[in-house]
Structure formats: structure tokens, C-alpha cells
Amino acid sequence: MADEPKNTKKAGSKKSGSEKIVVTKPAGKEQAASIVKTVCYATQQMLDKAAKEGISTVFDRAETMKPCPIGAEGSCCKHCAMGPCRVPAPKKKEEGAKEKRTGVCGATAETIAARNFARMIAAGTAAHSDHARGVAETFLLAAKGEAPGFEIKDEQKLLQVAMDFGIEIEGKSNKAIAIELGEAAVAEFGRQEGEPVFIKRAPLKRQELWKKLGVTPRGIDREVVELMHRTHMGVDQDYRSLLMSGARCALADGWAGSMISTELQDIMFGNPVPVHARINLGVLKEDEVNIIVHGHEPLLPELLVLAIKDPEIQALAKSKGAKGINLAGMCCSANEILMRHGIPVAGNFLQQELAIITGAVDAMVVDVQCEMQSLAQIAQCYHTKLITTSPKAKITGAMHIEFNEHDGLNIAKRVAREAIENFPNRKGKPFIPKGASQDMIAGFSHETINYLLGGVFRASYRPLNDNIINGRIRGVAGVVGCNNARTTHDDGHLKMIKELIKNDVIVITTGCSAMACGKAGLLTPEAARQYAGEGLASVCETVGIPPVLHMGACVDNSRILMAATAMVKEGGLGDDLSDLPAAGAAPEWMSEKAIAIGQYFVASGVFTIFGTTWPTLGSEETTKMLFEEMGEIFGGKWAFEPDPIKAAHLMIAHIDAKRKALGIDKARERVLYDMEMRRELESA
Ligand code: XCC
């Protein structure tokens, strides 16, 4: 272990297996007030503008509103009206006190922390899965020809997924197969018994372990409902039992809800392939109508891509004095249309208010998740129309144009018209940050990686596995998740990822983490030579890929599960996900969805480390279950380390331990790149 981070307080030292995990407390008040706000140049320019104009942003509010210290450690229970009860971890002088504090009902700190944690999983699973339900319902309408603008684009994937669902495809039209698949996918949500279809995609050994532990999920909705029930006052009051049912619910997210969303979106909108695009607030255009789509669901954004090409819409824009229409994205809606169309990305989570502050955004169109309510207030200070589109997510003060799959294209045109009509209302010359856009390559679906590595005639993960076995690539890390105003914007992602690739660990990324990488130039093939270690750089240069691969939106973390499973099935790296030299991280997480994602990675056998803050520190027992016992149960466990470099080294230590267990640790020591090896690599 390296030195303890300066901005953390040591809470305890835990040892498990070969790794020592230091549990640290997040930065206290004094540090929070003085953190550097961002390492993103465009963001800094916009924060300066906001300050000059007296606009309060999330960065300012994070300084004035301190996190509640009791809630932050999961020690506040407000599940009944006898509370809220606060059972903070004992302070030093109280330690050793005979009786621990409990809630009015007698609930212990461990039960309360576990309940709170489990409810985060339930909410996160609900969010991903409700998104997936919307996709499945639209898919079914599209299959029936009742959703104009939507179609079945990837017929090969349609057949593959239909076969996974056990649908007989022989002699049936694609339309009939798609209808059957749509109906079966919708039924996954309300399934009462059995297991979700995609559970069968996991390695056999993992499926057997889940069965033995009783954590194989049933229907997606059922797991969310049951977890909400268990965490109700007076129901499940054993922290281990609560956390195991949290794992079951999270598996319904990763291996069912999110995976359904990814797969059906790919069939409807096309499987992503590598695509060039630009990223950061500099993609906004002074002389064009700027429309930003922000949120998570790709349904309306896909139709907006079509709507803005309509000659009538284009002509309307010209008639208002605009040179054209510029569609850009933020958060995961951005990732969806970036991956499939190369639509530019305006920024990640903490940049949403700043986009409006440019004065260049004529409409910000939001659907669900990660939209700050402050957008409505800030939009009033500029000319931006904030348009909500989901019946599930309205914002007081915003215009509401409800999306409906039956008439989606017309609704998309209406949204575009609203933006265009607003173009002449700009208040003076917009300020688009200088030098603030960067080239990137995105679109690395699991299938694309397969093809890129193996070639069109022998698509396979063999070359990746071989390069891991021979040590050129040390291992694989999935670095994902949000930004969090409690820590320096983008800094955790970038420091961690640069450290990983420097040490020959290839990184796959999604969500706002992927955007941080894009803005910093890590999603370009050139980044391999600049930042990666010799072994990883050689492989990237041979194949022509960046050292950091953008795999999509947060529901696309399911692609990481599929890629990891393909590596296991390819052979040579063990027979379960927990055998892989791999690790996961979310250094700047903030959303409940991130906890659901982390938990399905852990339950799938992956060592997963989070930064910024940790929501169970109020209970040593609950934290121990997550950080240690889960390792023994699932072969994957949680860890918390707010210092991104130290966190990267914990991941590398885990990867090295897995290499040793596989007997491939010696190979890496031998890697010296002579000419012969380079030739061999180039012909691989
Ligand atoms: Fe939201 Fe998905 Fe987090 Fe970004 S990464 S802040 S959840 S947009 Ni999903």
C-alpha cells in the first residue's frame, strides 16, 4: 500500500486474502470547501462566466451545502414515523461503550446501513429497468409497425437474441420473430418464477453459484418490489440477509434489465461500430440552432437525429437566420446517439447547467435521470427552453412536450421547431468556451471488440486472451460512473485511468467516465503511445484502438459483463468471471444506479472500488460484509478508496493476484520487446 491519502481520515484497516484494504473516510468540511472544482478547461471557463453573471451552479451549492454526516455514512433511518432515528458510528471516546445506539424500534446500525444500501440498489435497478421496459415496449410497437420512425435495423442480432430467448426462428419472417421477441422481453419484467433469460449467458460456474446462494433473480420488478418490502419497517432485520437480497436485485439489473435495454436498442438502432466524433462544450455552434438532448433514453433522441434532417425543419432554421441545426448530447442520452451516429457530446453530468450558461443552447430536451432541477431556474436567466418529454419526469417551470412512440417523429419535429423558434431570442452573443472540443473514437460494443481483435473471418477474443496470458496486457479494468460535485470534476476518472493504462491495464469505460476520457483525449489511438505502458501500447497500435474503449451508456455496463463472459468462454483465463485479471471502479460516483451497477459487478465476481464517499461507514459490520465477506461468497467484493492513484494500485494488485492464481504471472516478468516479438505481435 502506498501512503495514506492526505485528504482522508483513516477509519480502520482491513485485511482480506492477499490484499490489504484501507477503509478511509471521505474528505471533511475543511477540505470540501477548498477542493479544486474541475480539471476540465471548458468547465473552468464556464464557471468563471457563471461567477461573473452571479449564477449559482452545482459547484457553488456543493460548497455551501455540506453533506449530512449521519446520512452520508448510512446511519439515518427514516423508514417509519417513530424516527427519523440517527445511529452514528461511535466517536473515539464512546468506543467500547457496552450498548450500541439503536433506532426507536431497536434496529441496529448494521441493519440501518444495510437497509439504506439495499434501497439504493432497488432504486438504481428500478431506474435502469424502467428505461429498459420503455425500450421493450417500443420495440414491440416497432415490430408491429405501430411506431413510425423506429425499425429493426440489425437483423443478425435480432435472430441471435431471439434464439437466446428460445424463440423458434425457422420459417418465420423477421417481423414475426421481432413481435415474439418483443412480447417475451416485456414479460421479463413481470416474471414471477424461473429466471431471466440472459442469466444463461453467464459462465456456468457463476450460474451454479448464484443458484446455491439463492440469489438468482426472478422477474425484474419482483426483485425491486421484494427489496422495498424487506427494507420496510419491521421486516428483514439481518444485515447479511438484506445485503444478499440486494445482490439478487442488482443481478436483475445487470443480467436482465440493463442487458435487455442494450440488446433491444442495438437491434432497433444498430449495433455500435467505431465512430469518430467531437466532445465538450466547444461542440456548440454560435451560428446554428443548438439542441441538447440530456438524460438516458435514446428513443426521442434517435428520432431527433431524423427530424433535424427534414428539409422543412432545415428551411425553418434558415428562415430564422441560423446556418443549420446542431444536435448534441449530455449524459447517457449523449452516449447512446454518439455510439450509433457520431452525434457530438456537449459534456458530462456536472456540465449540464454550464451548457445553458453559454447562452447558445436554444433547447435542452430532457427525458429521465440525472437532470438537475436547477436547470429550470438557470434556463430562465438565459433564453434556453427547457423541455421535459417523459410522463415520469416533469420539472416545475419547464415546457412539457410528452413523448409517445405512436407519434414519435412528429413529436421530435415539434421539439425541433420549438428550438428553432427560440433561436432569434438569444440574449446577445453566446460564449462558447475556446479550444474546448476534442476528437474521440467511440462505439466499442462487445461485438466490435470481438471483430477488431479477431478480424472478420475469425472474430474472437482469442487475441485479447493471448495478450493477457503473454503479459503484454496486464489485465482489464472497467472504469465507469458519474461525476460528483463533492470531488474535483473528472480528476478521479482521469488520474485512475491514466495510472491503469500506464501499467498496461486496458480500460473499458461507459457513462460520464467515458466522457471525461473523451475530453482529455484518451479515446484516441494516439493516446496509446502517449499514456500507455509499452505492452498495452504495442497491442493498441497493432490493432489500431485507443487504450481506453468507450462502450456506451450506463445500461451498457451489461456490455462489460458480456465481454468478460466472452473472455472466460474463450479459455485460458479460468472458468469463471472471478478468475479474470479484471477489476471495476467508479471513482466519482453519485447516483443510486452506480450502487446497483457496482453490486451486480461484485455479485458477478468482480473486485469493485468506489471513490468520493462510501454510504455504509456508519456500520463496521455492514461494511465488513461488503468489503470482505462478499469476497469469500462471490469471489468479488467492494472497496472504497477516494485517492484515485491508490485505488488504481489496489486494482492492479488484484489483477496481479489473479494472474498469479492463473499461473501467468511469470509471463509478464519475461516481456521484453525484441524485434521478433514485435513481428509476431504484428502478425497476430
Ligand atoms: Fe448520470 Fe448516465 Fe452517473 Fe452520468 S454516469 S451521472 S448516472 S449520466 Ni450513468
Q: Which mean pLDDT values do the consecutive 10-residue runs of the chain (684 residues) have?
A: 34 37 40 72 95 97 95 96 92 62 96 98 98 97 95 95 97 97 98 96 98 97 98 98 98 98 97 96 97 97 97 98 98 96 97 98 98 98 97 98 96 98 95 92 90 69 92 97 97 98 98 98 97 96 94 96 95 97 98 98 98 97 98 98 98 98 85 60 55
Contact indicator for 596, 117 with CB cutoff of 8 Å: no
Number of separate helices (H) and strands (E) present in the chain: 30, 18
CA of 596 to the centre of ligand 1 (A): 12
Look at residue 587 in the predicted model and tell me its pLDDT. 98
**Exposure letters 437-446 (e unless 16+ CB within 10 A, then b):** bbebbbbbbb
Look at residue 7 in the predicted model and tell me its pLDDT. 35
> With a 6 A CB cut-off, is 591 part of the ligand 1 pocket?
yes
CA of 572 to the centre of ligand 1 (A): 34
pTM comes to: 0.92
> With a 6 A CB cut-off, is 364 part of the ligand 1 pocket?
no
Take atom 8 of ligand 1 and give the residue whose Cα is closest.
331
> With a 6 A CB cut-off, is 482 part of the ligand 1 pocket?
yes
What residue ranges in 511-668 does DSSP mark as E strands? Answer: 548-552, 582-586, 607-610, 638-640
> With a 6 A CB cut-off, is 515 part of the ligand 1 pocket?
no
> With a 6 A CB cut-off, is 552 part of the ligand 1 pocket?
no
Residue with cell 445482490: 247
CA of 399 to the centre of ligand 1 (A): 23
> With a 6 A CB cut-off, is 289 part of the ligand 1 pocket?
no
Report the alpha-carbon distance of residue 263 to residue 162 in Å, rounded: 11
- Amino acid identity of residue 81, one-letter, is A
CA of 49 to the centre of ligand 1 (A): 25
Indicate the angle between helix axes 534-543 and 675-683, nearest 10 degrees: 40
**Exposure letters 562-580 (e unless 16+ CB within 10 A, then b):** bbbbbbbebeebbebbbbb
> With a 6 A CB cut-off, is 295 part of the ligand 1 pocket?
no
Contact indicator for 352, 371 with CB cutoff of 8 Å: yes
Take atom 3 of ligand 1 and give the residue whose Cα is closest.
482
- Of the residues 332, 484, 517, which should be mutated to test ligand 1's pocket, given the most ligand atoms within 8 Å of the CB? 332
Strands 607-610 and 582-586: parallel
Contact indicator for 600, 250 with CB cutoff of 8 Å: yes
Look at residue 2 in the predicted model and tell me its pLDDT. 33
Q: Which of 40, 38, 28 is nearest to 280 (CA)?
A: 40
Q: Which of 610, 653, 607, 656 is nearest to 628 (CA)?
A: 607
| Residue 281 per-residue DSSP state | G
What phi and psi values does residue 149 have, to the nearest 5 degrees? 100, -25
Q: What atom of ligand 1 comes closest to residue 296's alpha carbon?
A: 2
Q: What atom of ligand 1 comes closest to residue 554's alpha carbon?
A: 9
CA of 20 to the centre of ligand 1 (A): 30
> With a 6 A CB cut-off, is 334 part of the ligand 1 pocket?
no
What order do you get walking across the sheet with 385-388 strand by strand? 399-400, 385-388, 361-366, 289-295, 325-330, 345-347, 275-279, 438-442
My answer on whether omega of the bond before 84 falls inside 30° of 0, hence cis, is: yes
Contact indicator for 623, 477 with CB cutoff of 8 Å: no
> With a 6 A CB cut-off, is 370 part of the ligand 1 pocket?
yes
> With a 6 A CB cut-off, is 511 part of the ligand 1 pocket?
yes
- Of the residues 375, 482, 559, 610, which should be mutated to test ligand 1's pocket, given the most ligand atoms within 8 Å of the CB? 482
Q: What atom of ligand 1 comes closest to residue 349's alpha carbon?
A: 6
Q: Find how far residue 345's CA is from the centre of its chain.
A: 16
Q: Collapsing DSSP states into helix, strand and coil, what is residue 230? A: helix
Q: What atom of ligand 1 comes closest to residue 511's alpha carbon?
A: 5
- Of the residues 351, 591, 612, which should be mutated to test ligand 1's pocket, given the most ligand atoms within 8 Å of the CB? 591
> With a 6 A CB cut-off, is 481 part of the ligand 1 pocket?
yes
**Exposure letters 146-178 (e unless 16+ CB within 10 A, then b):** ebebbebebeebbbebbeebebebeeeeeeebb
Q: How far apart are the first and last CA of the chain?
A: 37
CA of 59 to the centre of ligand 1 (A): 17
- Amino acid identity of residue 515, one-letter, is M
- Of the residues 120, 262, 330, 331, which should be mutated to test ligand 1's pocket, given the most ligand atoms within 8 Å of the CB? 331
